[in-house]
Amino acid sequence: MHGLLIKMKQLRTTTVICLLGATLTSCMVGPDYHPPAAPKTHSYTEAPIATKTIKTIGRGSASQSQHFIAGRDIPADWWKLFHSVEINNLIETGLNNSPNLQAAQAALVAAQENFNAQYGASLYPNVSLQLGAERQRQSTATFGGSTSSIFNLYNATANVSYTLDTFGAARRELESLKAQVDYQQYQIDAAYLTLTSNIVTTAITAASLTAQIQATQEIIQQLTDQLNTVSRQFEVGGASKANVLTQQTQLAQTRATLPPLQQSLAQANHALAVLIGQLPSESHLPRFNLDKLHLPTELPISIPSALIHQRPDIRAAEALVHVASGQVGVAVANLYPQITLTGAYGYTALTMPTLFTAQNNLWAYGGSLLQPIFNGGSLRAKKRAAIASYNQALAQYKQVVLQAFQNVADTLRALEHDAKTLDAQKHAEFSAHQALIITQKQYKDGGVSYLSLLTAEQLYQSAKISRIQAQAARYADTAALFQAMGGGWWNQGEKS
């Protein structure tokens, strides 16, 4: 047995040396992959974006102006710029528990192991050891009459086979599988970015709904107080029954807006629970306060040519183009001859003690060439299909790039308009509140009609809710910009 192992090692070493020389001199047919060129543009929008947004009236972080800084890098933990301990804790929990992130990580491991399996099968000889023992009975006629027809047969053989990658089919397949590994890595980056962004924006939504609920409850209390006033006036003859009924209607309509807000808040909290990998019944989420969020004032804007390297969805789409390119090379290489070398060395004997003796030694080596001649056009059809799949992947990549640039342009314009909208809504709320105070006093003094009071109440209610929504939109669109720019996933190893 020891002699067999030595012979196996000698045969394997000789085969590897010979085949490496053949492989190194071989060529790779099919297209060599080149990344698609970046769009030739210097801006995201047709009209230039202002370097900063306006500063709105009032106090608080949401009133500050924001500055757009071209070329600044994006931190991986960009959500910490909102200075919310609650959001930071949720994201940490989500990164540890999210099934979507875990699924993406498992897919990467699978892709890497598929690559490893193909690498070993394609670039190294296939060496196997076969040991056998069997007992047979043959017809006596086979051995010439009186010879015993029952015997034992023992064998021990080492086999080596290797298909030369003369035209690069194996290496193109490995190229395609390696690109598939890259795709899965970018899918992890995309899942990371999507998870963190969704947690931030959903938390902002929850904060906005909480503020709207609180504002609505305050308005309900004001309307209730006003109803009490109108009812007392009616009792002494100072107001009509119609005024009382109208006030009751206004109060009931305002109360009717509360359950939908509470339902939306519950849905936002349920979504947050799922995002952090917990059941809604067990999440114990914190209460988010819109006024305590910090508005990031310095917003990084990547140059357009860098965006295609920062967005994980673009990188993933590019990896799929590379996958398709490798498959074109495989389809082309399959049109050419395949050369396979084989070798065997071992022993066969009728008795175990004489198995490893010189007279029972056997060996063989050889080679074969397979050249497709006629297969009904199958191989050429596969080549055309591979080329079409490449063109499909390339077109899909271009569409992803277009949508990414649209995403950035939309977000930049939204931030520019958000500041103006918030400023206008703050003015409207202030004016509506002042008008309501004056109208309430005048109504008590009999200076205005009840219709004027009702109109003032409705305007103030609408203005206050709209201001809260505008304030939340500014925070949400700021988070959307970090997401649109790629979220800084490339700096994950440098997170603070």
Q: How many CB atoms lie within 10 A of CB 401?
A: 20
Averaged pLDDT, 455-473 = 93
Q: Do the beta carbons of residue 123 and residue 170 sit within 8 Å?
A: yes
DSSP 329-391: HHHHHTTS-EEEEEEEEEEEESSSTTTTSGGGEEEEEEEEEE----STTHHHHHHHHHHHHHH
Averaged pLDDT, 50-79 = 86
Q: Is the overall model pTM greater than 0.95, yes or no?
A: no
How far apart CA 128 and CA 157 sit, in angstroms, is: 8
Give residue 258's Cα distance to chain centre.
36
Core vs surface per residue 279-306: b (16+ CB within 10 A) or e: eeeebebbebebeebebbeebbbbebee
**Amino acid 444: pLDDT:** 81
Segments of 214-360 assigned E as strands = 298-301, 338-349
Fold (CATH) for 28-125+167-337+377-490: Outer membrane efflux proteins (OEP) (1.20.1600)
Averaged pLDDT, 196-220 = 96
**Amino acid 123: pLDDT:** 86
Averaged pLDDT, 190-202 = 97
Q: How confident is the model at residue 107 (pLDDT cuts 50, 70, 90)?
A: very high
Residue 141 has pLDDT above 80, yes or no: no
Contacts of 458 (CB under 8 A, 6+ apart): 250
Lowest mean pLDDT of 60-64, 92-96, 447-451, 456-460, name the range. Answer: 60-64
Tokens of 402: 């277009």
Residue 9 has pLDDT above 80, yes or no: no
Lowest mean pLDDT of 14-18, 106-110, 139-143, 210-214, name the range. Answer: 14-18
**Amino acid 21: pLDDT:** 44
- Please, is 187 exposed, middle or buried when counting C-beta atoms within 10 Å of its C-beta (0-12, 13-18, 19+)? buried
Contacts of 484 (CB under 8 A, 6+ apart): 404, 407, 408, 411
Reported as half-sphere exposure (CB side, CA atoms, 13 A), residue 103 has a value of: 7
Tokens of 494: 């440098």
Contacts of 466 (CB under 8 A, 6+ apart): 425, 428, 429
pLDDT tens-place string over residues 479-489: 999 999 999 99
How far apart CA 259 and CA 402 sit, in angstroms, is: 40
Q: Do the beta carbons of residue 457 and residue 250 sit within 8 Å?
A: yes
Residue owning tokens 């005048």: 442
Averaged pLDDT of the chain: 89
Q: How confident is the model at residue 169 (pLDDT cuts 50, 70, 90)?
A: very high
Q: How confident is the model at residue 146 (pLDDT cuts 50, 70, 90)?
A: low
Residue 79 has pLDDT above 90, yes or no: yes
Averaged pLDDT, 184-204 = 97
- Please, is 222 exposed, middle or buried when counting C-beta atoms within 10 Å of its C-beta (0-12, 13-18, 19+)? middle
Residue 4 has pLDDT above 60, yes or no: no
Q: How large is the greatest C-alpha to C-alpha distance in the chain, in angstroms? A: 137
Domain edges within the chain: 28-125+167-337+377-490
How far apart CA 299 and CA 296 sit, in angstroms, is: 7
Q: How many CB atoms lie within 10 A of CB 19?
A: 20
Residue 288 has pLDDT above 60, yes or no: yes
Q: Do the beta carbons of residue 160 and residue 10 sit within 8 Å?
A: no
Residue 356 has pLDDT above 50, yes or no: yes
Give residue 178's Cα distance to chain centre.
19
Residue 265 has pLDDT above 90, yes or no: yes
**Amino acid 148: pLDDT:** 59
How far apart CA 482 and CA 195 sit, in angstroms, is: 13
Percent of the chain having pLDDT more than 90?
68
**Amino acid 435: pLDDT:** 94
